[in-house]
Structure 1
Amino acid sequence: MASPSPSLSFTMRKCQPELVAPAIPTPDETKLLSDIDDQSYLRFHYSIIQIYQNESSMANKDPVRVIRQALSRALVFYYPFAGRLKEGRGRKLMVDCSGEGVMFVEADADVTLEQFGDNLQPPFIYSKAFLCDVSDSEDIKKLPLLLIQVTRLKCGGFVVSTGWNHVMADGAGLSQFMHAWAEMARGMKTPSISPLWRRELLMARDPPRITCNHREYDQIQDTLTSSNHHLVHRSFFFGPAQMAALRRLLPHHLRQCTAFDLITACLWRCRTKALQTDADEDVRMMCIVNARNRFRPPLPIGYYGNAFAYPAAMSSAGKLCASPFAYAVELIHNVKGEVTEEYMHSVADLMVLKGRCMPTTVRSCLVSDLTRARFRDVDFGWGKALSGAPAKGSTGPFYGGTHIVSYKNSKGEDGLVLPVWLPAKAMQKFVKEMDDMLSGNHQNNPKTTAPAFIRSNV
């Protein structure tokens, strides 16, 4: 298999996929997913790519064998992942805990980490070669819930790709599973965090009732005929200089806001200007919020189901673009606070009452903060990953979805990476708007720093 980029060619040898089952028999039962889990938006496989370098102390260990055996042991504790989905009345999803196993592919690539150079930064542009070959049109109910490929590299490093059906877990839940899997690889007998199913905690109430305002699910007429085709991608690195430049645009009372607030507000503003949205049209920025600690008491430790909401900050495009940067930052900060235990119950009820409806994609963007998922920290015995991030730059069913991940660049700077997909002409405008924000030009301030564009590819 050839690499997807003409700048570097390599061949990939893949063995036939196999099913890895739990190491010992596990309960044969059916488990209902929650009404947060089985919403339509989450019915797809989402892939994480982790890239590891050679470790001299592991010279006699085969990463494929170690990781495969550890996976079998981890599935004893996370046995629902070894089952298959079933759909009941009202499109209700459940897991048939059949123990059939998860898909596992062993592979070898005749390439070294050094040859990839700076292209290791997320999203890894060669990721397609390292993913399990599964058609996007495949019925998710027939597919294994985990699709895993471990690829050895010529230098002794390796790449682990994990595709998981999003209805089973969110980023935090997958991270919990992956850390348990890595603990098994390092010789532990049981996970340090015991997994809990407890999906009844996020089931719709009886009777269901929508008690909160959910702008993220508004059904909006799209008056444009624009196409999502011919998109280009850029990734932007926000290191200390870029973050400091954004904070300087804020009044003092906002300068302690989170990095997520800053980057998301910057994206929203620049993207709206780049797409030249009519001034009187409403635009939405949906922010993924982990709700585990919003419950009273918090959801129990070990809960690995989907436990997030994506409330939408909303503004007219004209006001968003004309107002100071602080306006967007405050909208992002405030909307995250809307997520409460009641909000989560209201979302679950909405899913039942409105047929598991999709979020609106019209003039909308969605951002997920994956820095706390700690995918880079997953250690199978070879140390932490050089990179651990989603395989693709976009998230979910529309190109307005993206994520923020941590990364150490070639200069050794720790920072955050934001992938962006836009039509080609809009991307040119986006780059200029980002440049203006980070240089302070839009406020006639002296130039301070330039945007760190990591990569561009069509």
Structure 2
Amino acid sequence: METTGDDEGNKLKVKQGEPILVPPAEETPRVPYFLSNLDQNVAVIIKTVFCFKSKDEGNERAAKVIKDALAKVLVHYYPLAGRLAISVEGKLMVDCTGEGVLFVEAEADCNMADVGDIDKPESATLDKLIYIVRGAKNILEMPLLVVQLTKFRCGGFVLGVAMHHCMFDGIAAIEFAKSMSEIAQNLPLSIPPFLDRSILRSRTPPRVEFPHREFLEITDISDMATIYEHHPMVYRSFCFNLEKLDRLKRLAIEESFVSKCTSFEALSGFVWQARTRALGLRFEQQTKLLFAIDSRARFNPPLPGRYFGNGIFLANSLATAGELTKNSVGFAVKKVQEANRMVTDSYIRSAIDYFEMTRARPSLTGTLVLTTWSRLPFHTINFGWGEPLHYGPAALPEKELALFKSHGKERNSIVVTMGLPDSAMAIFEQLVEEI
């Protein structure tokens, strides 16, 4: 058994058992599994925690229920039981070895309420709820899915999940979790996943028909690298309730940049503008916004239902720091709307072909990346203990990332979680308070 702790006054102690491999419950195909170019561009690990506690049932059965459900769901999602490899084309693929996913059972020495604020990622507490694969030199040596189940004295438990983003986007992750929850409750699998990602192969020959500024390398004339190097990163979560969101939308239309906008568009424009101000970028500094949109319905024809893979696409917009800061938030909102409209079937396929020709990945210098969970029903996942009391990221995979998550009983507020150097975070907090 291994005890994890820290020296910063945090009293949570977690004893981790020996990790085990959970293979599929039945024999599965041993074949190479193709990953599309949309999968290639998100080769990062996503860490998430889910907190469960039932009024009627403790956590004694939790480990067996979750392990059994994992084994059975892997029959349908068999690529997850394999390992990443490099194809002859030099791209990521999955070697469907059937080895299984990694599962760790752990025990905490306190009640689940003592975990604290899980809306604040990158904390020493949350780190203890996610199993770290030791000795892995790179992502090729890590299982595609790692699950730690931590039991608490109160009868609750936390699922800490680490997954390769190249295997899931948020929608596919939700559908996997729902399939697993159906099996955990002895229900039939409602809809099997669509596994064939080759429908997103690049065209032959590749055709690049648009400029793809998502890959543009921006010159750092504001010395942002030094700001991040000499100031500690701090992470905060900001709740934007309906009243604040409505104020942002009114601000966006005041100077006639846009006639109407959604809460997502208004909030995206505000965060881009406020972050730029907080970092104190030079007026001539080029900045880039990337935001993930679900492109499943934008393909022609649309991607099949339950498509297992990354159907998200990073829409992009460029503006100088001066343009963002001297104009009202409506200017940034207009740029968000223009970027959203640009994403069509032909544009995405052009981007797929661009990667095929260049192997380029989106550059993050001078960039803000927005990803939204606010429309993803993570709160509905039920393995037999009811819906999660809380859920959220245990870490943000890139310092340039900001996460939008729904909040509140009616789920009509949005929590923005992000990191900034401490000097910039103080300014960003003030800008939020002024709304």
Q: TM-score, normalised by structure 1?
A: 0.88
Equivalent residue in structure 2 for 1:219, among 217, 220, 227: 217
Structure-2 residue corresponding to 1:447: none
Structure-1 residue corresponding to 2:310: 306
Structure-2 residue corresponding to 1:236: 238
Against the structure 1 CA distance between its residues 97 and 241, is the aligned structure 2 distance closer, same or farther, given a 3 Å change threshold? same
Structure-2 residue corresponding to 1:350: 354
Matching of residue 54 in structure 1 with residue 54 in structure 2: yes
Q: CA deviation at 1:227?
A: 5.0
Structure-1 residue corresponding to 2:392: 389
Secondary structure in structure 2 of the residue aligned to 1:277: coil
Against the structure 1 CA distance between its residues 82 and 167, is the aligned structure 2 distance closer, same or farther, given a 3 Å change threshold? same
Task: After superposition, give the CA deviation of every residue in 1:345-368 in whole Å (9 maximum; x if it has no partner).
Answer: 11111111112x221212110001
Q: CA deviation at 1:7?
A: 5.6
Task: After superposition, give the CA deviation of every residue in 1:228-276 in whole Å (9 maximum; x if it has no partner).
Answer: 3411111111112321321231327857522221221111111111111
Equivalent residue in structure 2 for 1:422, among 386, 406, 420: 420
Q: CA deviation at 1:134?
A: 2.1
Against the structure 1 CA distance between its residues 31 and 162, is the aligned structure 2 distance closer, same or farther, given a 3 Å change threshold? same
Structure-2 residue corresponding to 1:74: 73
Distance (Å, rounded) in 2 between the aligned partners of 1:226 and 1:124: 21
Distance (Å, rounded) in 2 between the aligned partners of 1:121 and 1:295: 34
Structure-2 residue corresponding to 1:188: 187
Secondary structure in structure 1 of the residue aligned to 2:375: helix
The residue type paired with residue 45 of structure 1 is I
Q: Is the 8 A contact 1:2 1:9 kept in 2?
A: no
Structure-1 residue corresponding to 2:383: 380
Question: Which ranges in structure 2 are unaligned for 5 or more consecutive residues?
Answer: none
Q: Is the 8 A contact 1:4 1:128 kept in 2?
A: no
Secondary structure in structure 1 of the residue aligned to 2:132: coil
Q: CA deviation at 1:178?
A: 0.9
The residue type paired with residue 244 of structure 2 is Q
Distance (Å, rounded) in 2 between the aligned partners of 1:366 and 1:387: 24
Distance (Å, rounded) in 2 between the aligned partners of 1:155 and 1:339: 48
- Which runs of structure 2 are paired with 1:190-209 in the superposition (5 Å)? 191-209=189-207
Q: CA deviation at 1:194?
A: 1.2
Distance (Å, rounded) in 1 between the aligned partners of 2:34 and 2:6: 39
Distance (Å, rounded) in 1 between the aligned partners of 2:158 and 2:72: 20
Matching of residue 105 in structure 1 with residue 109 in structure 2: no
- How many residue pairs are counted as aligned between the two chains? 426
For structure 1, which segment, 128-137 or 278-287, has the greater mean C-alpha deviation from structure 2 after superposition? 128-137
Question: Which ranges in structure 1 are unaligned for 5 or more consecutive residues?
Answer: 439-458
Q: Is the 8 A contact 2:119 2:393 kept in 1?
A: no
The residue type paired with residue 303 of structure 1 is Y
Matching of residue 257 in structure 1 with residue 261 in structure 2: yes
Distance (Å, rounded) in 1 between the aligned partners of 2:96 and 2:4: 37
Secondary structure in structure 2 of the residue aligned to 1:226: helix
For structure 1, which segment, 426-435 or 360-369, has the greater mean C-alpha deviation from structure 2 after superposition? 426-435
Distance (Å, rounded) in 2 between the aligned partners of 1:50 and 1:131: 11
Against the structure 1 CA distance between its residues 33 and 116, is the aligned structure 2 distance closer, same or farther, given a 3 Å change threshold? closer
For structure 1, which segment, 154-163 or 85-94, has the greater mean C-alpha deviation from structure 2 after superposition? 85-94
Task: After superposition, give the CA deviation of every residue in 1:103-131 in whole Å (9 maximum; x if it has no partner).
Answer: 000011112133345x1435484210000
Secondary structure in structure 1 of the residue aligned to 2:140: coil
Matching of residue 362 in structure 1 with residue 361 in structure 2: no
Q: Is the 8 A contact 1:378 1:384 kept in 2?
A: yes
Against the structure 1 CA distance between its residues 199 and 413, is the aligned structure 2 distance closer, same or farther, given a 3 Å change threshold? closer
Structure-1 residue corresponding to 2:145: 146
Equivalent residue in structure 2 for 1:13, among 12, 15, 21: 15
Q: CA deviation at 1:135?
A: 4.7
Q: Is the 8 A contact 1:45 1:165 kept in 2?
A: yes
Structure-1 residue corresponding to 2:322: 318
Q: Is the 8 A contact 2:48 2:394 kept in 1?
A: yes
Distance (Å, rounded) in 2 between the aligned partners of 1:86 and 1:271: 37
Distance (Å, rounded) in 1 between the aligned partners of 2:107 and 2:43: 30
Q: Is the 8 A contact 1:20 1:68 kept in 2?
A: yes
Q: TM-score, normalised by structure 2?
A: 0.92
Structure-1 residue corresponding to 2:271: 267
Structure-2 residue corresponding to 1:332: 336
Q: CA deviation at 1:154?
A: 0.8
Distance (Å, rounded) in 1 between the aligned partners of 2:245 and 2:7: 31
Distance (Å, rounded) in 2 between the aligned partners of 1:265 and 1:104: 40
Q: CA deviation at 1:286?
A: 0.7
Secondary structure in structure 1 of the residue aligned to 2:413: strand
RMSD value, Cα? 2.1
Q: Is the 8 A contact 1:43 1:165 kept in 2?
A: yes
